[in-house]
């Protein structure tokens, strides 16, 4: 059975690159190795986002509002794009039912998504759905919490 020369060349290149990575990794500390893994994971995620027309952090900078800009991070939340309304989970009680999540932008709390947030400055979006995750915010976070960290805050 003959293997084409081009396939053998490709296998040789891949094996050499893999071996080189292993040699470099042996010289790194655990902290440096974790940092390298995070960087590679970010690069992979960045590539996936760019294929979908989003920026490196998964934000649609051309969206009409904040809710549509962070749609990638909202997962299974129900969204009304015209009103900018997000329903992550409904609070459990009928007497004080709340549908709107609490928005945390750089540590400040909002009941509605702010209109004046520059979309290109968003660097991280975290969505807290479960009761255990939203416990920190008490009754205000009972319908879920959307935390956004911007470029200005993360420096």
Residues in the chain: 155
* Residue 58 maps to a domain: no
What is the domain range of residue 23? Answer: 5-51
Q: Are residues 83 and 148 both part of a single domain? A: yes
Q: Are residues 85 and 123 both part of a single domain? A: yes
Q: Are residues 77 and 37 both part of a single domain? A: no
* Residue 29 maps to a domain: yes
pLDDT digits (tens, 9 = 90+) for 77-96: 888 766 667 888 765 555 55
The span from the CA of 48 to the CA of 55, in Å, is 10
Q: Are residues 74 and 42 both part of a single domain? A: no
* Residue 61 maps to a domain: no
* Residue 116 maps to a domain: yes
Q: How confident is the model at residue 28 (pLDDT cuts 50, 70, 90)?
A: confident
* Residue 57 maps to a domain: no
Question: What pTM, to 2 d.p., does this model score?
Answer: 0.70
Give the count of domains, the chain: 2
Identify the pLDDT of residue 25.
56
Phi, psi of 25 (to 5 degrees): -65, -30
């Amino acid at each position: 059975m003959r293997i084409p020369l081009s396939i053998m060349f490709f296998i040789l290149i891949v094996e050499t690159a893999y071996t080189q990575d292993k040699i470099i990794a042996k010289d790194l500390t655990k902290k440096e190795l974790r940092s390298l893994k995070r960087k590679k994971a970010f690069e992979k995620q960045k590539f996936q986002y760019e294929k979908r027309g989003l920026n490196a952090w998964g934000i649609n900078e051309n969206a009409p509002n904040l809710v549509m800009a962070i749609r990638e991070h909202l997962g299974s939340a129900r969204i009304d794009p015209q009103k900018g309304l997000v329903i992550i989970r409904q609070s459990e009680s009928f007497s004080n039912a709340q549908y709107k999540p609490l928005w945390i932008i750089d540590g400040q709390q909002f009941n509605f998504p702010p209109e004046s947030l520059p979309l290109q400055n968003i660097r991280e979006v975290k969505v807290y759905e479960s009761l255990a995750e939203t416990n920190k915010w008490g009754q205000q976070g009972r319908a879920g919490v959307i935390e956004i960290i911007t470029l200005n805050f993360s420096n």
